[in-house]
């Protein structure tokens, strides 16, 4: 399996690192194109793969072309690559908002997969949602499953519309968690806890809570009720969340992210 990466950003590098880490491909089978000389030097020194500033160059060296560029650069790249992909090549896009139909039309190519990984993929703990066109073969689907699975959990969906929804939940979701962590640490410091202790308490609480949901098989709502004693401290805190409209605010934030993801593809 030969891979070409167009764009050497953080998520593209996460895919590259994961593929090499589990041995899906060797450095000699991977090529990366990027407009930034600094990024090219970093990728070459870190991973020992072929690097170039030419996007068409890497097409000749690949079975799978991973598009890892910024959404605003997609139009120019599609113009550059249109008609140059061979029928047997697979395009794997991890570009936020870029719809499969847009990619197929812009590249004049039908074998396209659209995926949305998230940032924990950088440590092998991510989750990726992906969809494929009918032209993608079973072998190619297996390749994609292996590549995305190297970064954590992968979930295949039959309709590309779910990718924008996943972008608003799992794609942007780590930032929501980080914001909650920041706020909880600051609240802990405010009531008198030393910052280092506050940070450790918050981190371990979130990690443990996530694992508890995963291992117990119970719904978060059930676990929340189990830990909430009537008239206790947790009930008092949750009442304040309710007064502030916490659930409605989360809904508004996810809807805003979803609408933005859809607009990026228009």
How far apart are the C-alpha atoms of 254 and 139, rounded to whole Å? 35
173-264: which CATH architecture?
Orthogonal Bundle (1.10)
Element spanning 185, H or E:
helix 173-190
Q: Tens of pLDDT along the chain (266 residues)?
A: 899 999 978 899 999 999 999 999 999 999 999 999 999 999 999 999 999 999 999 998 899 999 999 888 999 999 999 999 999 999 999 998 899 999 999 999 999 999 999 999 989 999 999 999 999 999 999 999 999 999 999 999 999 899 999 999 999 999 999 999 999 999 999 999 999 999 999 999 999 999 999 999 999 999 999 999 999 999 999 999 999 999 999 999 999 999 998 888 77
Q: Count CB neighbours of 74 within 10 A.
A: 22
**Domain boundaries in the chain?**
3-159, 173-264
Phi, then psi, of 27 in degrees rounded to 5? -55, -35
pLDDT the model gives residue 1: 87
**Quick one: the chain helix, strand, coil %, rounded to 5?**
60, 15, 30
CATH class of 3-159: alpha beta
242 sits in the region (left: phi over 0; alpha: psi -120 to 50; else beta) called alpha
pTM here is 0.89
């Amino acid at each position: 399996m030969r891979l070409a990466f167009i764009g050497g950003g953080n998520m593209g590098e996460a895919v590259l690192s994961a593929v090499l880490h589990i041995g899906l491909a060797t450095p000699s089978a991977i090529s990366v194109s990027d407009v930034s000389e600094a990024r090219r030097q970093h990728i070459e020194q870190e991973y020992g793969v072929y690097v170039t500033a030419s996007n068409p160059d890497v097409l000749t060296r690949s079975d799978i072309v991973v598009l890892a560029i910024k959404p605003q650069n997609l139009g120019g790249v599609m113009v550059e690559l249109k008609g140059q992909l061979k029928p047997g090549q697979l395009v794997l896009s991890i570009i936020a908002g870029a719809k499969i139909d847009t990619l197929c039309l812009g590249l004049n190519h039908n074998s396209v997969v659209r995926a949305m990984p998230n940032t924990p993929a950088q440590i092998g703990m991510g989750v990726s949602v992906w969809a494929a066109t009918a032209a993608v073969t079973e072998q190619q689907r297996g390749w994609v499953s292996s590549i995305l699975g190297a970064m954590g959990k992968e979930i295949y969906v039959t309709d590309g519309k779910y990718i924008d929804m996943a972008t608003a939940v799992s794609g942007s979701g780590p930032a929501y968690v980080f914001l909650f962590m920041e706020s909880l640490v600051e609240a802990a410091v405010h009531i008198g806890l030393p910052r280092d202790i506050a940070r450790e308490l918050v981190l371990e609480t979130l990690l443990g809570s996530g694992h508890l949901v995963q291992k117990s098989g119970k719904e978060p709502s059930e676990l929340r009720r189990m830990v909430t004693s009537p008239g206790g401290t947790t009930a008092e805190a949750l009442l304040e969340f309710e007064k502030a409209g916490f659930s409605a605010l989360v809904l508004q934030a996810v809807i805003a992210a979803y609408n933005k993801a859809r607009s990026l593809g228009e």
